[in-house]
């Protein structure tokens, strides 16, 4: 389980988590990703990118363990998020991150972590 905490604020301190497991075929299965409802869509913009950050952590775990595929299920509400982070046109009820989709996520991770001038 990956946990995202905001150590600089009292509430909400736990702002997101991702529950995943490794399959018998050495795949990473994402069972559940959630962002605290008080953080989702915040208008003041203090906290952003929690779900993306959690997925970047999943990519790093997969890379360190030599896992070539991450997969999970989407809901009607989460599908647009997966389309955005995967650079995919359409996600219905299931997503797979492998090959070019995994490379896309790694590039985005590198872009996010690149120091700003």
Position 65 scores a pLDDT of 94
Task: Provide the token pair at 76.
Answer: 């009607």
Q: Kind of pairing, strands 94-97 and 28-35?
A: unpaired
Question: Per-residue confidence at 43, pLDDT binned at 50, 70, 90?
Answer: very low
Asked whether 72 and 117 are in contact (CB, 8 A), the reply is no
Residues pairing with 20 in the sheet: 30
Asked whether 20 and 30 are in contact (CB, 8 A), the reply is yes
Number of helices (H), then strands (E), belonging to the chain: the values are 3, 5
The predicted model scores a pTM of 0.80
**Domains, the chain, with CATH or none:** 2-113 (3.40.630.30)
Q: What is the pLDDT of residues 53-109, one digit of tens each?
A: 898 889 999 999 999 999 999 999 889 888 888 887 888 888 888 888 888 888 877
Listing DSSP states for 66-96 in one string gives T---EEEE--TTTHHHHHHHHT-S---SEEE
Question: What is the DSSP-derived secondary structure letter of residue 28?
Answer: E
Task: Provide the token pair at 42.
Answer: 């915040």
């Amino acid at each position: 389980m990956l946990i995202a905490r905001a150590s600089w604020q009292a509430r909400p301190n736990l702002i997101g988590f991702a529950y995943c497991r490794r399959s018998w075929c050495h795949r990473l299965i994402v069972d559940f990703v959630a962002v605290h409802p008080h953080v989702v869509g915040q208008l003041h913009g203090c906290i952003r990118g929690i779900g993306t950050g959690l997925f970047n952590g999943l990519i790093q775990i997969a890379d360190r363990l030599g896992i070539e595929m991450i997969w999970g299920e989407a809901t009607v509400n989460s599908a647009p998020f997966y389309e955005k982070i995967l650079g995919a046109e359409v996600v219905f009820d299931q997503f797979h991150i492998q090959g070019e989709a995994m490379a896309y996520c790694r590039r985005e991770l590198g872009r996010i972590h690149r120091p700003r001038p």
